[in-house]
A and B are shown apart, each in its own frame.
Chain A
Amino acid sequence: MAEKLLVNPIDCEGHGACAELLPELITMDEWGYPIVDPRPIPPGLERHVRAAVSACPTQAQRLLRETPPHRKG
């Protein structure tokens, strides 16, 4: 099943560890918060993704199995 990287923007404090460990998928915006590539994780990067997820000081990253979220605004 495809996995997707998800940042909880409430928990994220912009430490930037994820972008350092996973520049292939994560860049930083001009305020220091991660911009995550929304596409499914390409094969071969899984190990790096797991490293980035576990390196987050606020544990704001998580891997989500692919199901379309329904959100209400």
Chain B
Amino acid sequence: MTVTEQTMTELPRLLPSERDGKQVQDLRAHLARHGRLPYRERQGTLIHDIEAAGLTGRGGAAFPVHQKLAAVYEAADRRRRTPVVIANGAESEPASDKDATLLWLAPHLVLDGLQLAAEAVGADTAILCTHIDRGNDVGRRLRNAVAEREAATLDRVPVQLAEAPPRFLSGQETALINHLAGGPSIPTFIPPRPTERGHAGNPTLVQNAETLAHLALIARRGPRWFRAVGTRDEPGSMLATIRRADGQPRITEVPLGMPLRDLLGEVRPDQGVLLGGYHGTWISGQQAATLTLDNASLAKAGARVGAGIVITLPADRCGLVETANVVRYLALESAGQCGPCLNGLPRIAAAFAQIASGRYHPRTRADVERWCGLVTGRGACHHPDGTARLVRSALVTFAAEADRHARGRCTEANTGANTKPFLPIPKTAARTEDDWT
């Protein structure tokens, strides 16, 4: 293939394009589009390319991928252990659909990335973990994809498929490792870091499914190609889940640094925009109009790209009511292991529900603020931090609405017309021990 500037910047890179008829990429279509798997025949060499490309994790934390690869490689060497690589497709965020979509449409790209990452760190175990209970039958699709690759003897490390329970925290790195070891699907304390001591005590690389797909393309086309889109500091493209007023999720691949207004379409200045999902940040439409989809820009509004979730709240919805539903869900999804989270999140949720319902004590907002401060940074995982971030940003972005509620008036909701939440909330919350395993 001749590499022209146009093909360098062409999107989508990961998902099937219009030219491919947006068809599901079976092995034949995948190889026709992307070519063979470029094994390096040596450990470690891919890590330099990934560093030059500047790829960061697409699961939400945006951690530099080469640093994780190098940490696993180095720990394996030092401890004389053979590493494990895990592709994390356990997309637990109810508002996100990008990993499920990628695994459904282009499973081989993720499986390529898993093989190449395994080679780079010298792993002999590769696991692809997905989320039970997604709408489509992604498990069957992946079993077929793995069988296709076996028949073509593509894979050097056999791939195991695993499923995580449909809980909000089950996609968290240590929760995944805990689950794969036969334990409950809840986070464990760090240290030890998984890169040091993870699955079966071995140095373990856990990378988001989309991250591995980018890695597989960087291995083929090089860092310069990867950097042809995106910003200098945050290069490349990412999958985003966009929800506009109709509530239907759209998965689209966008360059980092894309203006939010191009993603959102028409937004009123006082409309709420949620960035980064349920551990994310509410901003106003006015703020959104000036920002671009990269962490350097979003930081100005205290927000982050996260896993690429961008939601516009419809004009007839109350941001406080919607947030109250989400916060109740997040409190119920706490693993209940850490005192501050166990005590703080239900209190925050109950107080926030009062603010949303329109009759609340003058002290309630100050209580919520204080509890948000108390839970932040005090859990084994970031669940309390993310919940507090969402709550605080809602109280700022919907401050005028909260004032109206205090006087007993809600502008939009509670009219009876909008009883179903706009922001998706899974029906089942954990009730017994069994729900975690």
Residues of A within 8 A of B (CB): 8-14, 29-33, 35, 64, 69-73
Stretch of B8-16, B339-347, B394-402 that contacts chain A: B339-347
Instruction: Name B residues whose Cβ lies closer than 8 Å to a Cβ of A.
Output: 57, 59-61, 63, 67, 71, 172-173, 188-191, 193, 195, 206, 279, 337-341, 343-344, 374, 378-383, 385-386
A9 engages B382 (CB within 8 Å): no
Most chain B Cβ neighbours within 10 Å, of A33, A35, A72: A72
* Cβ A71 vs Cβ B344 within 8 A: no
The CA of A8 and the CA of B338, in the complex, are separated in Å by 9
User: For A9, what are the chain B residues with a Cβ–Cβ distance below 8 Å?
Assistant: 189, 337-341, 378-380
A33 to B, closest residue via Cβ: B339
Find chain B residues with CB under 8 A from A69 CB: 190-191, 193
Asked, given contacts A69-B190, A70-B193, A72-B172, whether A14 binds B60 with beta carbons under 8 Å apart, the answer is no
Known: A10-B337, A73-B279, A73-B386. A31 touches B343 (CB 8 A): yes
Determine the distance from Cα of A13 to Cα of B386 in the docked complex, in whole angstroms. 23
| Structural contact, B340 and A71, CB atoms closer than 8 A | no
- From the candidates A12, A29, A35, A73, name the one contacting B61 in the complex (CB within 8 A): A73
Question: Which residue from B61, B71, B189, B374 sits with its C-beta under 8 Å from A10?
Answer: B189
Question: In chain B, what residue has the closest Cβ to A29?
Answer: B374
Q: Which label, helix, strand, loop or mixed, suits the secondary structure of the A interface?
A: loop
| Interface pair A10/B63, CB less than 8 Å apart | no
Question: Considering the chains assembled together, what is the distance between the CA atoms of A33 and B344 in angstroms?
Answer: 11
The answer for the CA separation of A12 and B179 in the assembled complex, in Å, is 22
Given A35-B378, A73-B385, are A10 and B191 also a contact pair (CB < 8 Å)? no
Residue numbers in B under 8 Å from A70 (CB-CB): 63, 67, 71, 193, 195
B172 touches A11 (CB 8 A): no
Residue of B nearest to A6 (CB): B191
Interface centre among B190, B339, B344 (most CB of A within 10 A): B339
Q: State A30–B344 Cα separation when bound (angstroms).
A: 10
A35 contacts which chain B residues (CB < 8 A)?
374, 378
